[in-house]
Structure 1
Amino acid sequence: MANFINPDFVLQGKTAQKLYHDYAEKLPIVDFHCHLSPKLIADNHQFESLGQIWLEGDHYKWRAMRTNGVDEEFCTGKASFRDKFQKWAETVPSTIGNPLHHWTHLELARYFDIYELLSPANAGKIYDQATEMLQQDSFRTQNLIKKMNVAVIGTTDDPIDTLEYHKALQGFSVKVRPTFRPDNVLKTEDAQFFNSYIQKLEAVSGKTIKTLADLIQVLDERHAFFHEMGCKASDHGLDRLYYTPNFAAGADKSFEKLRNGQLLTDEETEVYRTYVMYELCKMNHKRGWVQQFHLGAMRNNNTRMFKKLGADVGFDSIGNSQDANKISRFMDLLDTEDKLAKTILYNLNPADNEMFVTMLGNFQDGRTPGKIQYGAGWWFLDQKVGMEKHLRDLSVLGLTARFVGMVTDSRSFLSYPRHEYFRRILCNHLGTEIDQGLIPNDQALLKTVVEDICYNNPMNYFGF
């Protein structure tokens, strides 16, 4: 019987197989948005076990394990990595139909040449085999990245970051570029947290931040520093885009209240966030960056577990539909002033797909191909059904050929087969349409489209 992960995995038909194997398979990976640690890359870190590299910090797996009845001790707790891995192996058979099942077996195959289906019966053998391989220099972080033919990595970095590890990586054969993510200046729900963060900004900048103008100046200086260090993009993880008319009139008052430890009203919050995002987006335009907006997550739903474990541990979900009017008004504000940078909008709620794709067409400038992008399916939509819907909606309402393609959006050094997964789904989507007579079987055209989406478009769009 053929291996589950085989050369034609996901590829249904000769046309799809040709597109993938001839055009997509060997292209370098441009991972312009992820959460890999630049320190671990710069240190050329060596992981001690398969359990550590695979399960530490992976909220996707933790979420599935909890659903399978696994105690928290084996997710975020103090159980050994071997015991945690055993619990993960007990969960994997139940993940059929979930992208975790595909990712798990792609990663075992691509990194460790293991093609068995992971189960409780073979977990110990696979753990020992992979852990032994991880002790080799070829499995240190830099070699893991090169093994997957990665050309560019865009990390996610706070404005207070010194970027010392990016500086150390300037001689690395893979381009590791910082990405400016100033989300903490928008977290106004907790005045104590907000003021603690402002103090960190003061410390790294050597400037006193007494007024909103001081804050914007310091952010601009940090923005300029990131630019000098090769940064070409910002990223903003927001529940939604903010907009309210006359926001400039009340923003100073909102900032003053926060600095005095007072909570803001909903109206004051909208004023402050609109103003700060407006100023940040002008910086992005000024320096020719790409700005990315990850919209729609409903975070930290479980209060009990948030108090116990903190954020980003698997208690987030898809939020309500976005306010199309606010997206339109905010983008129009920037466009009216000719301050709208290249923009990627990532949507987490599939009910909003068509709204997002049609919104993009309102603000294309007729000069920059694909200037406003519909970002790849992310988080809960980073799976076969989500990607197929993404491709269908973009094809019907936009220009798929201008799409800048996939990102891992991952903290794991074993996540690069997600690009392969996307490429297989892309080629299968196109191949199916060709076989149905809906797309011409013009190989020169198809070669260009596939190679552009997988490699050329992101390289050109970001200026890598």
Structure 2
Amino acid sequence: MKKFLDENFVLETETAQMLYHEYAKSLPIIDYHCHLIPEYIANDHKFDNLGQIWLEGDHYKWRAMRTNGVDERYCTGKDTTDWEKFEKWAETVPYTMRNPLYHWTHLELKTAFGVETLLNPDTAKEIFDICTAKLRTPEYSARGLMKKYNVEAVCTTDDPVDTLEHHISLKNEGFSVKVLPTWRPDKAMAVEVPTDYRAYVEKLSEVSGITINKFSDLIAALRNRHDFFASVGCKLSDHGIEEFYAEDFTQAEIENIFNKVYGGTQLTKEEIIKFKSAMLFEGAIMDWEKGWTQQFHYGAIRNNNTRLFNQLGPDTGFDSIGDFSVAKAMSKFFNRLDTDNKLAKTIIYNLNPRDNDLIATMIGNFQDGSVAGKIQFGSGWWFLDQKTGMEAQMNSLSNLGLLSRFVGMLTDSRSFLSYPRHEYFRRILCNLIGNDVEKGLLPSSELPFLGKMVGDISYYNAKNFFKF
């Protein structure tokens, strides 16, 4: 019987073990999409205890705790202590077996704190005290943890109206880890609620210094901020969308739609889609002009529980996989850009696993030889960010594209303890390739190339693709 979480965790064959330990394990981490708080990095934030660093804002854990019968006050409540919340999490952990949370939890305990004891109600206090004591030392500050995990670069997720003051501070200071912003303009196209949209546009006008009275002014203001983000080192955009938008539109139509929503009029569904189509297109052109990489995270159906959304707000654990029909709109969107040779480097992340082969074939339509892997099938995201999901994504990419040109893993996380997700991914990657060699599906004579391939996917492809 194999020991849980030993040095060969997930690695089922000798070849898989060799590939991981010799080619992947020691490589730096490029975390090109995350939700870390830049202020925490700039101020080298210190965490008071394990419950705080683990449970604040972690809707993955909250979702599991609720499912296990834990009252909401121990998830998001303000009247409970960090220890009380942690104790409820420890009670839940044994029930997460076969959920990726079980692996992530124990990988984080082992790699960050050297704790190999399984977390459960009996061990909770001991583990809490050991880890909390370490968190109060300099090595376990926000920056300390990034250095501990050999992080080379991170890209945070930032709104066009953000000041980026903390990125600027880190850049001027010369912090050894590159902390770069990512352009996330979702609110600039969120026209569903006119009053909220007007408030956002007024804020955009204020920070850009451009008076916004019409759609062309809106684009000018966004371009102003896009230039500012570039000056601070931004190299990527990111779009959280339900589906791709590629409706035909005229400039006059979009100007009229903007005037309506800015004036407080509720838009029709057709008008909303046309406006989003125009915004997505305009943003893609800006990205192409600067040589950025554009990312599209699509397919989530959000805030399903109205009662708890009204009580707790967004990003609290009430989203799920949607079943949107996207192929035609996605193709039309990319083709519209490619027709004028203005399609930027692109990464597409799907949330519904049924779309794996769809994406793997779609990206092949728009590769043009200018950049290796110019259009990327992004790693398993959110509900697919687990062993089965990652294997399925890599198998589809292998079958229908070039796995060897894949830019690999990212945390998509708000936690400074999430970097073991890169290790988890690397182990799964090496296991896939190693098992193929052992089965005679790949030649053992090509192990040096396969080792290089593992290193490329784990680190070098991303470093070269994003030009960090």
Q: TM-score, normalised by structure 2?
A: 0.98
Where does 1:138-177 land on structure 2 (aligned, <5 Å)? 138-170=139-171, 171-177=174-180
Where does residue 135 of structure 2 map in the other structure?
134
Where does residue 458 of structure 1 map in the other structure?
462
User: Aligned-pair distance for 1:2?
Assistant: 7.4
User: Aligned-pair distance for 1:116?
Assistant: 0.7
User: Given that residues 347 and 378 in structure 1 are in contact (C-alpha distance below 8 angstroms), is that contact kept between their aligned partners in structure 2?
Assistant: yes
User: Aligned-pair distance for 1:341?
Assistant: 0.2
User: Aligned-pair distance for 1:348?
Assistant: 0.4
Deviations 1:295-335 (A, max 9, x none): 10110000001110100000000001432000000100000
Deviations 1:134-188 (A, max 9, x none): 1101111101000000011010000011111001111100111110000001111
**Distance between the aligned counterparts of 1:399 and 1:183, measured in 2?**
31
- Of residues 60-69 and 315-324 in structure 1, the stretch that sits farther from structure 2 once superposed is 315-324
Deviations 1:82-104 (A, max 9, x none): 00000000000000000000000
User: Is there any run of 5+ residues in structure 1 with no aligned partner, and where?
Assistant: none
User: Given that residues 32 and 155 in structure 2 are in contact (C-alpha distance below 8 angstroms), is that contact kept between their aligned partners in structure 1?
Assistant: yes
Matched residue SS, 2:316: coil
Deviations 1:67-88 (A, max 9, x none): 0000000000021110000000
Q: TM-score, normalised by structure 1?
A: 0.99
**Distance between the aligned counterparts of 1:328 and 1:207, measured in 2?**
34
Where does residue 57 of structure 1 map in the other structure?
57
Indicate whether 1:46 and 2:46 are aligned.
yes
**Distance between the aligned counterparts of 1:404 and 1:108, measured in 2?**
27
Question: Which of 431, 435, 448 is residue 432 of structure 1 equivalent to?
Answer: 435
User: Aligned-pair distance for 1:205?
Assistant: 1.2
User: Given that residues 242 and 330 in structure 1 are in contact (C-alpha distance below 8 angstroms), is that contact kept between their aligned partners in structure 2?
Assistant: yes
Matched residue SS, 2:182: coil
User: Aligned-pair distance for 1:4?
Assistant: 2.2
Where does residue 115 of structure 1 map in the other structure?
116
**Distance between the aligned counterparts of 1:150 and 1:172, measured in 2?**
12
User: Given that residues 16 and 434 in structure 2 are in contact (C-alpha distance below 8 angstroms), is that contact kept between their aligned partners in structure 1?
Assistant: yes
Indicate whether 1:407 and 2:410 are aligned.
yes
Indicate whether 1:445 and 2:449 are aligned.
yes
**Distance between the aligned counterparts of 1:391 and 1:308, measured in 2?**
39
Distance 1:283 1:349, change over 3 A: same
User: Aligned-pair distance for 1:199?
Assistant: 1.3
Q: Which of structure 1's runs of 4+ aligned residues deviate more than 4 A?
A: none
Indicate whether 1:195 and 2:198 are aligned.
yes
Question: Which of 292, 297, 301 is residue 298 of structure 1 equivalent to?
Answer: 301
Where does residue 384 of structure 2 map in the other structure?
381
Q: Which amino acid letter does the alignment assign opposite residue 20 of structure 2?
A: Y
**Distance between the aligned counterparts of 2:366 and 2:309, measured in 1?**
39
User: Aligned-pair distance for 1:206?
Assistant: 1.8
Question: Which of 353, 356, 369 is residue 366 of structure 1 equivalent to?
Answer: 369
User: Aligned-pair distance for 1:247?
Assistant: 4.6
Matched residue SS, 2:27: coil
Matched residue SS, 2:366: coil
- Of residues 58-67 and 269-278 in structure 1, the stretch that sits farther from structure 2 once superposed is 269-278
User: Given that residues 321 and 352 in structure 1 are in contact (C-alpha distance below 8 angstroms), is that contact kept between their aligned partners in structure 2?
Assistant: no
**Distance between the aligned counterparts of 1:72 and 1:32, measured in 2?**
32
User: Aligned-pair distance for 1:425?
Assistant: 0.3
User: Given that residues 247 and 272 in structure 1 are in contact (C-alpha distance below 8 angstroms), is that contact kept between their aligned partners in structure 2?
Assistant: no
User: Given that residues 3 and 115 in structure 1 are in contact (C-alpha distance below 8 angstroms), is that contact kept between their aligned partners in structure 2?
Assistant: no
User: Given that residues 210 and 220 in structure 2 are in contact (C-alpha distance below 8 angstroms), is that contact kept between their aligned partners in structure 1?
Assistant: no
Indicate whether 1:75 and 2:75 are aligned.
yes
Where does 1:206-285 land on structure 2 (aligned, <5 Å)? 206-285=209-288
Matched residue SS, 1:244: coil
- Of residues 196-205 and 370-379 in structure 1, the stretch that sits farther from structure 2 once superposed is 196-205
**Distance between the aligned counterparts of 2:104 and 2:384, measured in 1?**
14
Where does residue 23 of structure 2 map in the other structure?
23
**Distance between the aligned counterparts of 1:424 and 1:444, measured in 2?**
18
Matched residue SS, 1:169: helix
Q: Which amino acid letter does the alignment assign opposite residue 63 of structure 2?
A: R
Q: Which amino acid letter does the alignment assign opposite residue 56 of structure 1?
A: E
**Distance between the aligned counterparts of 2:99 and 2:435, measured in 1?**
22
User: Given that residues 4 and 115 in structure 1 are in contact (C-alpha distance below 8 angstroms), is that contact kept between their aligned partners in structure 2?
Assistant: no
Question: Which of 282, 287, 291 is residue 288 of structure 1 equivalent to?
Answer: 291
